[in-house]
Amino acid sequence: MNGRRLLLTSAGAIAIVALLVSIALAQGMREKFFDRDGRLVVIERSAAEQLRTYDIRSSKAPETFPVPPPPFSEGIFPCSDCHAHMSPDQRPRVLTEEHTDIVLNHAEGQRWCLDCHNTDDRDTLRLVSGEIIPFSESYRLCGQCHGDKFREWREGLHGKRTGYWNGDKEYLLCAHCHNPHDPNFKPMKPMPPPVRPGETRR
């Protein structure tokens, strides 16, 4: 073998190796590790396998959600305007002096106002666990008993969510649609059928 041919062959070999390396780099990666018995294990990972994929399980749902202000009647909040000067009355009873428009129709046999409202600070709500939450998180109160609806709401299946699919979102509180004291929607009276042109309504 003369010197020239040797040079050409080795140049060709180097080119082939370089090509293989660049293909390997573009296509994937090798993962090397030793198993429990001390044997070397080599795993080839394709480029696609290395791509970070969107996985719903790795996107953790937040604990609090951006919501518009709670839908209080005018002048009722802060409750402490009156309640700070009153001693709480824990007896279940018919209210006669104030809040007479509030009539519980929501598993009322099993509870009363102060199962949801904080006895010691009327400006907040109270969970069964004893945790005190603001009215802007009332969905957590509802979620204690309506866990299925809460999870659907969180994912945007129940209720109303606006914003970007991969960005900021705003949620309506359960209380924007359901009256917490009487949450069932009342049946609606159907509208009369439309009147045809030239016809008069009987």
Rounded Cα–Cα distance for residues 8 and 10 (Å): 6
Judged by CB under 6 A, which stretch of 9-17, 38-46, 109-117, 191-199 contacts ligand HEC?
A: 109-117
Residues 29/45, Cβ–Cβ less than 8 Å? yes
Rounded Cα–Cα distance for residues 40 and 193 (Å): 79
Judged by CB under 6 A, which stretch of 53-61, 148-156, 162-170, 190-198 contacts ligand HEC?
A: 148-156
Binders in 45-74 for ligand HEC, by CB under 6 A: 70-73
- Say whether residue 156 binds ligand HEC (CB under 6 A): no
Residue with smaller CB distance to ligand HEC, 58 or 110:
110
Using the rule CB under 6 A, which residue among 89, 131, 155, 170 binds ligand HEC? 89
Site of tokens 């009987």: 202
Residue with smaller CB distance to ligand HEC, 45 or 111:
111
CB atoms within 10 A of CB 50: 10
> CA torsion, points 148, 165, 178, 131, in degrees to nearest 10?
60
- Say whether residue 177 binds ligand HEC (CB under 6 A): yes
Residues 153/146, Cβ–Cβ less than 8 Å? no
Judged by CB under 6 A, which stretch of 9-17, 139-147, 162-170, 190-198 contacts ligand HEC?
A: 139-147
Cis check for the bond before 194: say yes or no (omega within 30 of 0). no
Using the rule CB under 6 A, which residue among 8, 43, 76, 132 binds ligand HEC? 76
Burial (0-12, 13-18, 19+ Cβ within 10 Å), 125? buried
Query: Per this entry, what is the length of the chain?
Result: 202
Judged by CB under 6 A, which stretch of 4-12, 45-53, 141-149, 188-196 contacts ligand HEC?
A: 141-149
Q: Which positions lie near ligand HEC, rule CB under 6 A? A: 70-73, 76-77, 79, 81-83, 88-89, 95-99, 102, 104, 106-107, 111-117, 122, 125, 135, 138-139, 141-146, 149-150, 153, 158-160, 172-178, 180-181, 183-185
